[in-house]
Chain A
Amino acid sequence: MAKKAKRTTLADNAGRRDGGFPWSTTVLTAPTAGAVALFALLVRVMVSVGPYSGEGTPPKYGDYEAQRHWMEITLHTPASEWYRNTSANDLAYWGLDYPPLTAYQSLAHALLLNASLPAALALSLSRGFESPALKLLMRWTVLSSDFLVFFPAALYFVWVYCRRGVGGDKEGGSAPWLLAMILLNPCLILIDHGHFQYNCISLGLTLGAIAAVLSENELVASALFSLAINHKQMSLYFAPAFFSHLLGKCLRRQNPIFEVMKLGLVVMGTFALVWQPYLYSLEAVMEVLSRLAPFERGIYEDYVANFWCSTSIFIKWKRLFTTQSMKFLSFITTISAFLPSFIQQVKAPSDRGFLYALLNSSFSFYLFSYQVHEKSILLPLLPASLLALEEPLLFGWLMYYALLSMYPLLCRDRLILQYVSVLALFGFIFYSPDGRSGMRANSFSIRKRALMILPLLCSFILHVIYLSLRPPEKYPFLFEAMIVFLCFSQFVILTFYTNTKQLMLLDCSTWTERGKKDL
């Protein structure tokens, strides 16, 4: 946690004074990293004591039941039937709708659970199975996935970030703070360990891929990112950034076509490996693909702070356009939203630009693409947390409104106490006495400050009225819509800012390039 941040700074100072102090040579030392990581794990464990989505609410339950059901299906049926409607596998009841890597992960966890609690995974008989022991085991599968995938990736990233000096001329010593910001992401903690999902795996794989790109291990990066896509197709939100950055880099080398082919082969190889049970016929592949792209579910789900949902207050998109034309419209807008950042990375790939491009491309998908969940805000949050040292204000701002956009969901899951405590904890660490949040409110003009405080006030009021007031009969989702609209307005401002920021990098890119050659 942040105190560790402070500790390291102190260690550095002390080390500089005394010289030759073992852990002052590197910025992120083993004890500080250990303390931050263990604290992040502790917070996760404590959140996991709370309720999960759909606890005790038959007949459909929630994501927890979905994950349990997938374990049941993958354990008892052959891989070829996982995505097919059979007598054992009723796709209408939480049918598997993530790519095969999620299914393998379910199978691995199912094997572990089956050893101690077989009744919880009995085929068909175990629907809606709930018990404290199962809850504990299920929670531990998420905790262990997080600790084995996301934590090492975060450490790897911070290590690479500091070693390569991605943050530019900023002083070192705040690496533990950065690590804490990445690991103590309240949204990720609440969704994975409260609501119950495994985003830590796909995000962890993506984070590993990002770190690998930064450390020039491009083949590893391609493999990791392919795995991330194969765990949750939403990882494709990052694809334009990865593609443009790697393409831009390859174009600068001696043999661009060969370089691109190498990466392509790794990607295809990884995909082939993961999809191996379905490669026997095109039909089988299409069967899986159709499960992954559920267009019939509409342009957005529930209340999500993206363009389509927020503006539906004024424009009834669903009524104006057919599903087909809606698909096309969202496709076009998404592409045009990430195009500037895409072009920038092809023209001048750079480490910082890459991080901004990740943020911009995931934001464009979140705001404009088809079938977006409120939980998809986790994707733009990941690159934003990586930029925490550079853009502390942006990161804190985005984090707050991202969490707000999931407030109705978390209220439904009865996770308000956890919501409040994790948010407050994040605030304390963000503004830790020695942390390098670098943001001082008084450095802004009064008008800017008012611009920030106004939405903040609105959000406080919305928090309270959402809990205490009943919406009018005529508009049962009035408060949800207000929350969504507030968040959307902030997201739009932020994405304009980050796009401008990335495009401004173009001007000084030649300088960055020269700097890199010197290295």
Chain B
Amino acid sequence: MEEAAWFWGVATCVKLLLVPTYHSTDFEVHRHWLALTSSLPLARWYSDASSPWTLDYPPLFAYFELLLSFPASLLDPTIVDLVAGRNYAAPSALLFQRLSVAAADLVLLLGAHRLARRLPPFRRRLAFALLLWSPALLIVDHIHFQYNGFLLGILLLSLSFLGEGRDLAGGIAFAVLICLKHLFSVGAPVYFVYLLRHYCRGGFGKALGRFLAMGSAVGAVFAVAFGPFLYHGQMLQVLHRLFPFGRGMCHAYWAPNFWVFYIVLDKILAFVLAKLGFVIQAPKASFTGGLVGDSSPFAVLPQVTPAITFLLVILAMSPCLIKAFLKPEPKHIIRWVAYAYTCGFMFGWHVHEKASLHFTIPLAIVATESFDDARHYFLLSIVSCYSLFPLLFEPREYPVKVLLLAIHSILMWLGICLFRLSRTPHQSKMNDSRGSSEQNQLIGWTGACYLLGLFGVELWGQLLHPYFFGNRLPFLPLMLVSVYCAMGMMYSWAWQLRQIVRCS
């Protein structure tokens, strides 16, 4: 614990220094929720519309905000004032909310410690560095402002329970996680299949008993979370707020996933067909506008509905589900869950770029398992962190994000190179017998070229685009980042899939 605490302490100092940096509107969102939960009765939490930032996280998170609002009101009552506190960002509010994120990261520390404590010293340290010093988490939580470290900490806790064979505890932790942020339910199919096959074993009677035990435990968590709202007749309103399908397929800034290629293909086809003389109707809705209504944003390709994306996600996940069904082994569970989140990210509806954290953080533990995993993680974590760069667009934070990523890359490089050394002779012999020199390199030449290309993309966005186009086409650099990062993400998805199918 001492070692993990050291890593956490260093990270906390950095987080403290980040207090005065830029924060997004999410800061006001969370401040408003503090005020909302502390000033209004529970029955009105999900129906209040006094601010555009309505509560759209599940009830447990609302309780969490309620808990935070007590110390907040002691420190400065304006923070939790529903009217006077609007857009309140005084130093006291800033400090309190930033500190609450840093303190909530204690859960991340606990999760990381539980997952990594049994690893050999070197791999343990690598895992701590990757988890607790993740630049993506620092950018999203401690600059942009969110509570992902806390939520991912619960996910890691749940995974650590599963890894130890304590399935019931793992299931409960996961239920809590879903009741904190429902976006995490993408991992639910894997959890369901795994727990069904691994926990509910034995004879029919025993299996049924365990199934009922798990069901009632998870049900209890949901009852605690949603029960009060059911009692007040708010259930429909809650669900309406949690699942706003009025939003378009893509967020204002396209998350680097599969759909980026779909959109780009549509644009190219429209362009080519128009050149060939076909009459192409320009789509009424545009992708760069953020909220997309009912009209189809595609000119040529068919419209994509939430149901299609849902089916695609399940389809992409299915190999992993089959594996989990046939051979539920605790040692693979982190990989499977991470893969499920990758599928959700790649093919899901209205995906935020921040959702890449859901799989990059658990994969950090997988990365310490083998050299191949570490190599894959090196690429993935750089790409996913880079894809978060557009979140911080002010020049003041520019050096911060660049340095965070650079330091992270160097540390990974150092750690992974040492990793290769620390392999047992048996392993390295196996590798040698495979022969190819590519196997022994940290990244092959394709990977290296791809990563160097990131410099090109960044250079274009920072220097060349303003030089050539001035203020015109402001979305072009962002689009370029999305498309370029999407390639890396697709590779990572395919690589994970291959790895899951391969391993017996």
Contact = CB atoms under 8 A, between A and B. Distances in A.
B407 A10 contact: no
Interface stretch (B28-36, B355-363, B368-376, B408-416): B408-416
Interface stretch (A30-38, A69-77, A491-499): A30-38
Interface centre among B3, B18, B407, by most A CB within 10 Å? Answer: B407
B17 A47 contact: yes
A15 interface: yes
Contacts of B403: 38-39, 41-42, 45
B153 to A, nearest CB: 21
Contacts of B456: none
A428 B10 contact: yes
Given A42-B400, A50-B20, A433-B3, A31 B410 contact: yes
A46 interface: yes
Contact of A417 (B10, B16, B421): B16
A425 B421 contact: no
Given A31-B410, A428-B6, A14 B421 contact: yes
Given A1-B10, A35-B414, A433-B6, A418 B17 contact: yes
Interface in A110-140: 132, 136
Interface string A403-439: 0000000000000011011101100110011000000
A35 B410 contact: yes
Contacts of A373: none
A21 B421 CA distance: 9
A181 B399 CA distance: 22
The main secondary structure of chain A at its interface with chain B is helix
Given A35-B410, A42-B400, A42-B404, A14 B13 contact: no
Contact of B407 (A11, A38, A417, A422): A38
B125 interface: yes
A3 interface: yes
A39 B413 CA distance: 15
B406 interface: yes
A432 B421 contact: no
Contacts of B3: 433
A354 B38 CA distance: 64
Given A7-B418, A43-B17, A45-B403, A417 B396 contact: no
Interface string B367-401: 00000000000000000000000000001100110
B19 interface: yes
B422 interface: yes
Interface residues of A, number: 42
Contact of A46 (B9, B18, B122, B414): B18
B79 interface: no
Given A49-B20, A49-B21, A432 B410 contact: no
B10 A425 contact: yes
B296 to A, nearest CB: 43
Given A14-B421, A39-B407, A428-B6, A31 B414 contact: yes
A109 interface: no
Nearest to A431: B6
B161 to A, nearest CB: 27
Given A47-B17, A50-B20, 12 more contacts: A6-B125, A23-B417, A41-B399, A43-B17, A46-B17, A417-B16, A418-B17, A421-B13, A421-B16, A425-B14, A428-B9, A432-B6
Interface of B: 2-3, 6-7, 9-10, 12-14, 16-21, 95, 122, 125, 129, 395-396, 399-400, 403-404, 406-407, 410-411, 413-415, 417-418, 421-422
Interface of A: 1-4, 6-7, 10-11, 14-15, 17-18, 21, 23, 31-32, 34-35, 38-39, 41-43, 45-47, 49-50, 132, 136, 143, 417-418, 420-422, 424-425, 428-429, 432-433
> Top 3 A-B pairs ranked by shortest CB distance?
A421-B16, A425-B13, A46-B17
14 contacts: A1-B10, A4-B411, A14-B418, A39-B403, A42-B399, A49-B21, A417-B16, A417-B20, A421-B14, A421-B16, A425-B14, A428-B13, A429-B10, A433-B6
